[in-house]
Structure 1
Amino acid sequence: MTCDYSCFLCGIGVLSAPPSASQNWLLYRDGTDVFVTGVGSFDGSSEWKAPRDPLLRWDSMSESDDQLHVPVMRQTVVNGRHGFVLHSACWNLLNKACGPARLSLERLISTCESLPFPLWFNGVSWGHDYEGLLKLDNDGAYPWMERFFTPSIATINETGAMSDPNDASVFRMMLPTTMPHFPTITRQSAKGADPFSRFPWEICEMILACVRTHDALNLRLASRSFLPLFSSLSFWLSRFERDSERGFIFEVREGGRNLGVETLLQIHHNSKRSLATSAILNRQRTWNLARRLALLIGTPLVSNNPSQRTFDSGKWIRIAGREQSSLSTIQWEEFEGGCHSTTTICINVPPDVIKMGITIVNAGVWNYVTGIRLLGRDGDEHVAGYVAKDKDILYSLSQLHGLRVAIGPGGVRALQVVSEGQQASEWIGNVEGVPQSDRLVAGAPIISLSVTLDGYKVTGLAIHDNQVKPNDTIFLPTMSIRRTALWYPSVPPDGLLLNEDSFTGQDPLSAGYQPLSWIHFGGKEGKSLKHVQGLLVQSSYGLHATVVNTKPDLRTCETLRRVQAGVCLIKLNIFSRQTPSNEIMVDALSPVSSSRNLSQNLISTPTQLLYSSYHEQKRMPRSTYLSCLRLEKPDQAKFVEQQASPEFAGLFQKDRSAAAAVDMLM
């Protein structure tokens, strides 16, 4: 049994056995056209073959029938042909999950073409965990790096992932063997102050349809007005709607079945008991993934009233995820992370703008921004991206002064709308564990907005404001690093002075996706600095982590924790000693050969804020610059540059010097 690639829907490999895992469909692009094959069968070879006719199966083909060879997943495009593979059972579930709406092959393959092929997995990375199949790697990567562990055999067994999710026997297991009978309970006139007694029963049924079964049963205990729910046909049918708790039992909605209340109630009860079986578990897991994908590809790309004015690209201020090469030249085996930016839409901001709408999609573990809508006072709309007007989040404003952006390698995760007077909305989307930037916040009204997209989400944004003069060539380089940089975990507050003049890292505006990570370990007004014991630096062909270790204050019973920037994969022993001049000498000694030992004084005074630039290799994050800052007298700033030992020089990547400089603001 071999496995080259995994199904892009369920995440389980397309195997040479069993039949449910070997039978597959190929969704492919041939030039500019998109097709789907018939049912093929994977035999373990490197070639992926299937009937060209989507109505045929591999076991019903004659010798004269045309068989198609398609390079898939990481394989190289051949003559403009490339595709993605999914199980036959998963294809059937995906079509059922789309419901009456016809599945758009173009939207589906455009979405698949936006997904990277990470090194740790033989399938595509959606930004979700395949409903429990994958586990987030929170120890070996930043949270925003979208890195998971490869699924283990134990996890595969726990999720029932090897079972056929389209097995017809699943529904037969839930049908009652004997027909139960439940007495009909009529609604009695309410006594006392029961507010629901004033509603017609039809209104009460509509309320019940919007809550989970467990909550509905509790509501029946709280109010006698809901006692008849056991005999309500509409209530029990609502349990099996596509997005309800038993939506994966789609057989209830098919074939014109005229199932009574007793049968529906018994199926619901039996399905709860059957959730312990692998077949039901995998049916539910795959159905949830199919519904999520159906909603994702159901939102069309919208671009109305695009900007007709042309601006010099140098006058735009832009931020984007870790963008790869264009789709026309992409080598799929090299697309290991980040995003494909395929479309850019420029829209003018109405001078009388009154609202901004932002569409968010839940990708599973993370949210992504998919589209933006600007509404003028006259009702005119300027739209860019995949916008769901009935689901977007609206924010009222009088002028648009910019956007605060939380962005991961794959695209924009959340936005804050900044209006006149630097008033900002709440974060729209989830910002937890995501780098943030104020780069797109301007001091004047924004006149144009550029939205960059891949197949289903926003991957980059750019603004054009009135402050950019036609011949202004120094505007962008003189912007503060506090504004231009991408910061993790958040943008440093204005009260912290940044060691900006001596920062020798790359220019954030031209360095691509390079977040700056910073930690604050000095406490309020530096009160915790006296408890600092040492600084730990872990390296292996680059700086991977810096850790500040503190000791508890026994007098105040205050517990001080170790503060870390970067990814520290091993445990290091930290030793510190105090000199007669009250300087803290720091040594980091490691029993592990993959970390360097520091035998000399790296930082000669306690520091309050530390930040470093980020560079991602194929397997590990790596810092390329380290800067330290002490704030005891914010009104006085003194810069000191100190060189580390030659042994330490390899930790920092610099072109100008063999030795690495550690800059301090004291």
Structure 2
Amino acid sequence: MPITSVSCVLCGARVEDISHPIHWLQSFRVAYTILENWDEARLSGVGQRRQFEDVIPLDKSVDAGIPGIDYESPGIQIRLVATQFGGKYPPNPPLIPQPAWGFALHSSCLEILSIASPSYGGRLDIQAIFDLCRSQPLKRGILDWGHDYEGLIGFPRDVDLFCPGEEPELSLAHPKTNVYTHDPLNIPELHHIFTDRIELSAPHDECGCPKVSANYCSGSDPLNNLPTEILHMILIWMDSKDVANLRLASRVCASLVLPEIFWRSRFWEGREFEYVFEENTTGSADRDWRQLFHKVKSLAALPHMANRKRVWFLARHLSSLIDRRQSYNACNGVKIRTLFEPDGVLDSAQWVTAGPTLFRPTEAFRAGARSLYDRKITLRTPLKCIYVSTMRIKSKNYVTGIRFAYDDDQSTLFGYCKTGDGTTPTWENLQQATTLVGFHVAFDSKGIRGIRFLSASGELSGWIGDREDLSQRILVLPTHLPPQDLKGGFDALKLVSLSISGGEDTSVATPLSPHHHSLALRENSIWHGSIPPKELSFLGPHKTLERNYRDSLPFSLILFGGVDGTQLPHLTGITVWVVDNTQSGVYADRTHIWGIEFSLNSPTDGRSSILLGQIPDAELSTSDVYHMDLESSLGERITGLEAFYEDPAFIFGLKFCTNRGRAIEFPPACTDQLPRDEYFSDVLKPEGGTIVGIYAVLKHDDVFRSIGVAYIPSH
């Protein structure tokens, strides 16, 4: 067995070694390149996986003199799990130089992909496939396309416990059946019925409807006056289940003899047997399509057929991405020098950036996103119009590029876009903003999902793309001046990061006042769901608690007092859930804060309480719940919050303070057993203002990572 695990980039099943008993899992080809020739992808012949090496046939067109290639040998070694680049080549001994690297596909899967692609009969765009694969993170040998490989790959069992902004990593699902081990291409039973004469007894008009008695509606049939030819056309473009239901409801359709073209249409794109492509490859146009339909239906439960269906839909999806990649003429903008594009211009500007965590070429790409192409443009004024290009991947929209049009009928293209395409933003009080000072950006771990524009007058446009239940960030310069330049990171399909610059230096020279520091926190932080109202100010967490997880996990905010504080008199109590991790290990905190709930005697948005975090499972024996009552109707208010950290990554205790002189710890006396130098205390007491909410970075394994307070500043 090889020492590394490698999966097919199309079907997700493992690429096995030469000793494996299932031959089709052994047979693979590779979309690959040599060293850092990113734009010279090629397709290998059939390779072999061995215990300590992976080998493909040597392509005679490979440049001579590359260390690590034996030009006298018929094969060369190849790396099939490479995501980290830029190191010394050839490497120092005892490391073996392997200049070839790429992405493996089972030979059967590659053939199905070629059939599923519009270019079938021609040549697959290997460069497009290679670039798409480079854009996906790879972990444990599996490319993460953002789907589950049609059920082969699953999510962690505790995915329901994930907090806002968290995205579960895909992992092997351990399928209950071994369907994925059956060859999806070569199915003898299927080949037989398309190449041999078949005799099959089946009702002449049966189309898969359930065996139930027809219950026709009383009165005239609205389809009674339609010509037979029109009825046939209607049925041909309907799914079989809908046809079956219609035949139960309509006497006219029930008595209609279904023509051969109807049965053949069951194999067309979008129908139940579209994955039976032998219909197009065996020259069987003169067959009895009704009999073929019923015979194929009788085979549908076979493991080979189930895997064919699974791989076919994966191939259709990848084919759509290839088509999209091929539709791009270029990634527009000035090319910036990176390892992937060393011929770009040097970039020395200071940038303010929004988007997911990006992994550099020199880092292992195991999650998140990676920019293959960095582009920048200079923004001009006045603007005439803005056009945003987007694409849809499964159920998600992503921004691919932006076109800025000017009064002189000139346009600046940014990323993947072209003249004549795109959606224009809408404005409530403006026909079109002539000058921009920033953006609001919504994103997930894969890229930019939505965008809105901030005008110089302070008005925001409507959103283009997705924004619900996503991380969001304001993208403005610290000076609040219009940005001079715009920079984007792009993978093979879409925008993965967006940056603005005002020139060489975008910093603010003078120290920030508390008010401006609070404003900067709102603008510089990532927020889940929506960006907080600008009327609020924010305090915390302390800068020493800003760790790497802050780069990707957003703040979640709840407002128990409302934006204007009108709900504060209705606040009746605070409940805190705590999980004791004392027995978890030497380095575990004593306790973790899991959930904080604020109870109200006047429902807000139909809710009588507001929860931040999670309530532990009732069966979790190490959890405790604590409560404090508040006399808010008599004027008691929360005036401060103190968070205790034994480890800077999560909170082990909290203290709420009120204007009645009360200070309640959760859990009680949580700091009594700890020496003062073994924990850090973050005191959050605004100087002048009314606390109306709290916000926190949340993560499912220990929930509260950090905390801050939202307040209405006193003027």
**Do Structure 1 and Structure 2 share a fold, with TM-score over 0.5?**
yes
Whether the aligned pair in 2 keeps the contact of 1:140 and 1:567 (CA below 8 Å) is no
SS in 2 for 1:548: strand
Superposed CA offset, 1:298-355 (max 9, x none): 22344477469999864654323211223xxx35xx3221222121223456855445
Question: In the aligned structure 1, how far is the partner of 2:397 from the partner of 2:532?
Answer: 23
CA apart distance, 1:52:
3.2
Whether the aligned pair in 2 keeps the contact of 1:322 and 1:512 (CA below 8 Å) is no
- Alignment-derived partner of residue 513 in structure 1: 551
Q: Tell me whether 1:573 sits opposite 2:615 in the alignment.
A: no
SS in 2 for 1:422: coil
Q: Tell me whether 1:21 sits opposite 2:32 in the alignment.
A: no
Question: In the aligned structure 1, how far is the partner of 2:236 from the partner of 2:419?
Answer: 24
SS in 1 for 2:560: coil
CA apart distance, 1:146:
3.7
Q: Tell me whether 1:47 sits opposite 2:53 in the alignment.
A: yes
- Matching residue within 286, 291, 306 for 2:311: 286
Q: Tell me whether 1:585 sits opposite 2:665 in the alignment.
A: yes
How does 1:226-375 map onto structure 2 within 5 Å?
A: 231-232=258-259, 235-260=262-287, 262-263=288-289, 265-272=290-297, 274-300=299-325, 301-303=328-330, 306=333, 314=349, 316-326=351-361, 330=362, 334-347=364-377, 348=379, 351=382, 353-354=384-385, 356-362=387-393, 364=394, 366-374=396-404
- Alignment-derived partner of residue 488 in structure 1: 528
Pick closer, same or farther for the CA change 1:381–1:95 going to 2, 3 Å.
farther
Pick closer, same or farther for the CA change 1:531–1:112 going to 2, 3 Å.
same
Question: In the aligned structure 2, how far is the partner of 1:459 from the partner of 1:508?
Answer: 23
- Alignment-derived partner of residue 628 in structure 1: 709
- Alignment-derived partner of residue 474 in structure 1: 508
Which has the larger Rg?
2
- Alignment-derived partner of residue 414 in structure 1: 450
- Matching residue within 71, 94, 110 for 2:131: 110
Pick closer, same or farther for the CA change 1:439–1:272 going to 2, 3 Å.
farther
Pick closer, same or farther for the CA change 1:219–1:345 going to 2, 3 Å.
farther
Question: In the aligned structure 2, how far is the partner of 1:125 from the partner of 1:520?
Answer: 33
Superposed CA offset, 1:22-69 (max 9, x none): 2111221114222221122334x1311122369xxxxxxxx9971221
SS in 1 for 2:79: coil
How does 1:4-15 map onto structure 2 within 5 Å?
A: 4-15=5-16
Percent identity over paired residues: 21
Superposed CA offset, 1:88-126 (max 9, x none): 2111111111132632111111111122223xx431211
Whether the aligned pair in 2 keeps the contact of 1:531 and 1:553 (CA below 8 Å) is no
- Alignment-derived partner of residue 111 in structure 2: 92
Structure 2 residue identity aligned to 1:575:
Y
- Alignment-derived partner of residue 645 in structure 1: none
Structure 1 residue identity aligned to 2:23:
P
CA apart distance, 1:551:
6.6
Whether the aligned pair in 2 keeps the contact of 1:538 and 1:545 (CA below 8 Å) is no
Whether the aligned pair in 1 keeps the contact of 2:577 and 2:616 (CA below 8 Å) is no
Pick closer, same or farther for the CA change 1:451–1:288 going to 2, 3 Å.
same
Pick closer, same or farther for the CA change 1:247–1:142 going to 2, 3 Å.
farther
- Alignment-derived partner of residue 663 in structure 1: none
Q: Tell me whether 1:609 sits opposite 2:648 in the alignment.
A: no
CA apart distance, 1:144:
4.6
Aligned residue pairs, count: 591
Question: In the aligned structure 2, how far is the partner of 1:627 from the partner of 1:30?
Answer: 50
Q: Which stretch shows the higher mean deviation, 162-171 or 470-479? A: 470-479
How does 1:29-44 map onto structure 2 within 5 Å?
A: 29-31=33-35, 32=37, 33-43=40-50
Q: TM-score, normalised by structure 1?
A: 0.72
Structure 2 residue identity aligned to 1:182:
H
Pick closer, same or farther for the CA change 1:578–1:613 going to 2, 3 Å.
closer
List gaps (5 residues or longer) in structure 1: 55-62, 185-190, 591-597, 638-666
CA apart distance, 1:460:
0.8
Pick closer, same or farther for the CA change 1:463–1:507 going to 2, 3 Å.
farther
- Matching residue within 135, 139, 142 for 1:123: 142
Q: Which stretch shows the higher mean deviation, 299-308 or 32-41? A: 299-308
- Matching residue within 179, 185, 200 for 1:178: 200
Question: In the aligned structure 2, how far is the partner of 1:230 from the partner of 1:387?
Answer: 50
Question: In the aligned structure 2, how far is the partner of 1:34 from the partner of 1:306?
Answer: 24
Question: In the aligned structure 1, how far is the partner of 2:234 from the partner of 2:702?
Answer: 50
Question: In the aligned structure 2, how far is the partner of 1:224 from the partner of 1:475?
Answer: 82
Pick closer, same or farther for the CA change 1:250–1:256 going to 2, 3 Å.
same
Q: TM-score, normalised by structure 2?
A: 0.67
Structure 2 residue identity aligned to 1:504:
H
- Alignment-derived partner of residue 81 in structure 2: 73
Superposed CA offset, 1:107-163 (max 9, x none): 111111122223xx431211111112223342464465442353243x2x3472222
SS in 1 for 2:324: coil
Question: In the aligned structure 2, how far is the partner of 1:19 from the partner of 1:428?
Answer: 45
How does 1:431-442 map onto structure 2 within 5 Å?
A: 431-439=467-475
Structure 2 residue identity aligned to 1:41:
Q
Structure 2 residue identity aligned to 1:410:
K
- Alignment-derived partner of residue 649 in structure 1: none
CA apart distance, 1:516:
3.3
Whether the aligned pair in 2 keeps the contact of 1:587 and 1:600 (CA below 8 Å) is no
Structure 2 residue identity aligned to 1:533:
T
Pick closer, same or farther for the CA change 1:346–1:554 going to 2, 3 Å.
closer
Structure 2 residue identity aligned to 1:323:
L
| Aligned-CA RMSD value | 5.1
SS in 1 for 2:24: helix
Pick closer, same or farther for the CA change 1:385–1:230 going to 2, 3 Å.
farther
Question: In the aligned structure 2, how far is the partner of 1:123 from the partner of 1:99?
Answer: 26
Question: In the aligned structure 2, how far is the partner of 1:319 from the partner of 1:253?
Answer: 48
Question: In the aligned structure 2, how far is the partner of 1:396 from the partner of 1:311?
Answer: 36
Pick closer, same or farther for the CA change 1:209–1:354 going to 2, 3 Å.
farther
- Alignment-derived partner of residue 63 in structure 2: none
Question: In the aligned structure 2, how far is the partner of 1:80 from the partner of 1:409?
Answer: 30
- Alignment-derived partner of residue 650 in structure 2: none
Pick closer, same or farther for the CA change 1:416–1:604 going to 2, 3 Å.
closer
Question: In the aligned structure 1, how far is the partner of 2:335 from the partner of 2:103?
Answer: 37
Whether the aligned pair in 2 keeps the contact of 1:409 and 1:513 (CA below 8 Å) is no
Question: In the aligned structure 2, how far is the partner of 1:406 from the partner of 1:6?
Answer: 32
Whether the aligned pair in 2 keeps the contact of 1:28 and 1:34 (CA below 8 Å) is yes
